[in-house]
Chain A
């Protein structure tokens, strides 16, 4: 069995289709006969070729939203299409700031639940079933949508490997955005990009991350230096982001970024479930921590029970002298 139609939220990053969108399109092709996208904005033409290559036949775009935060108008436009009978059987959104807003608004508009933190999707007859890890990933729960669709799922990044289908450029069609009434009004007035050197955290082949075991904010420089020496990106546990040592954009974990690099080096991170969920898909994990009981050693391929303040400088020196 397959569903007849799935809509995937198309998102763009720096003018290109976000990798999460391509992952969702790839999975959607397995689940439905027709895969289409919806998009918040008026420049879907620029994305149509890539979206088509991954199996999207039509992109439904909202048009210019005049700076509005996308959740309210996008959900209203999709809900109107569903009510008009043009909608899909399932709606997949990546777990991003905007994806969450849109899925949550849609859930109320359509009076359907939204299943969140999904890492896998399958069909049971005509019903969609999502898999969601809980307790930091030691337990998987499978949740089946009850009643009629559209089923709404928020899927975590990197849940599927993106594969092109070789499809033709997608058609672009306009959605009608209905009157938003009293829910309108949240407007973006300015955007700030926090520049960082080197590869992006969620795309880097090597990630070096630091945690509370570093002791003080200044010691995060060791993590940055090692990342730089290895051509990788620096990340952080929630504890030191909350403490204000590093910006939120560096956070790896349940909240924050999901990373799956070839090599993940955890320095002074104990491995709270919050953190493990975001990094245990890494191909190889190296951990340095002074507590031999730290949960991070349970997932590490190489664990060093030792003081990061000794091991890291030695490691940096050894790498520098190569």
Chain B
């Protein structure tokens, strides 16, 4: 069973991001890391391939500047190889173009299953997995909290507002997973060393058959027309607990007529 996992390399969320005022894209001059929400997909894929007893996990990622450090983490976890679509022309791509590019890279691998995170921790559009499925004309299940393989299909518990649904889906298909679906492993020292020799196949947009005018800013169906500071809440009263602070909460709740 061959599984492709879509992974995104993002600025460290602990180091808050900023928009480049000129290009109006996320500044990516900082070191990028594997999006934590993608580590669940990598782990899920490794477990499914392990259970199947055969097959490979391949990573597919897109970055404007041939960044690899996030891929190295996922390779160290146990993925066999990676495809990195890296091209300055991709800067400014919207989610639809991103999905088309990733889908083209995935198609060359012809996997049984494609796994992605439900949404990235930086852009959080949350549409790319379903868009990839639509481009590839495959069925899909989003917001999966568990996946098991059952013959030629999969069984998924899909998150809903009220609880979860049991969903069955034939393969090949695309599944997006929620955080917490599995506990991602930490790369071992052996894994980290092995990752250095694993193949990362670098491609440009034109390698995948896209001309430069159809991707990036030029191909985006949207334009950022304004970036402004959002109205902020004012901070209120802050007190240090001296053992009696709970009384202040009680009186505040009384003022608000909450009690």
Contact = CB atoms under 8 A, between A and B. Distances in A.
Q: Which of B126, B135, B226, B237 has the most CB of A within 10 A?
A: B126
Given A104-B127, A143-B224, A191 B163 contact: yes
29 contacts: A69-B141, A71-B130, A71-B140, A97-B160, A103-B127, A105-B130, A105-B134, A117-B124, A135-B16, A138-B232, A142-B224, A147-B221, A193-B162, A242-B180, A244-B180, A255-B178, A272-B13, A285-B233, A292-B240, A297-B235, A298-B235, A302-B237, A302-B239, A303-B236, A303-B237, A304-B241, A304-B246, A305-B239, A322-B259
A109 B222 contact: no
B236 A69 contact: no
Contact of B236 (A188, A190, A302): A302
A188 B166 contact: yes
A301 interface: yes
A230 B163 contact: no
Interface residues of B, number: 82
B194 to A, nearest CB: 28
A161 interface: no
B250 A318 contact: yes
B256 interface: yes
B54 interface: no
A182 B134 CA distance: 10
Nearest to A194: B163
Contacts of A95: 126
Contacts of B164: 192, 194
A300 B241 contact: no
Contacts of A111: 96
Interface of A: 13, 69, 71-72, 75, 95-97, 100-101, 103-105, 107-109, 111-117, 124, 129, 133-147, 154, 181-194, 205-206, 230, 238, 241-244, 248-249, 254-255, 262-263, 265, 272-274, 280, 284-286, 288, 292, 297-307, 310-311, 314-315, 318-319, 322
A258 B99 CA distance: 27
B252 A139 contact: no
Interface of B: 13, 16-19, 24, 94-96, 99, 118-119, 121, 124-131, 133-135, 137-143, 145, 153, 158-170, 173, 178-180, 220-230, 232-233, 235-241, 243, 245-250, 252-253, 256, 258-259
B142 A97 contact: yes
A284 B256 contact: yes
B168 A146 contact: no
Contacts of B127: 100, 103-104, 107, 114, 116, 154
Nearest to B163: A194
B179 A189 contact: no
Contacts of A113: 94-96, 220-222
B135 to A, nearest CB: 6
B249 A146 contact: no
B170 to A, nearest CB: 4
A183 B133 contact: yes
Contact of B233 (A136, A181, A262, A299): A299
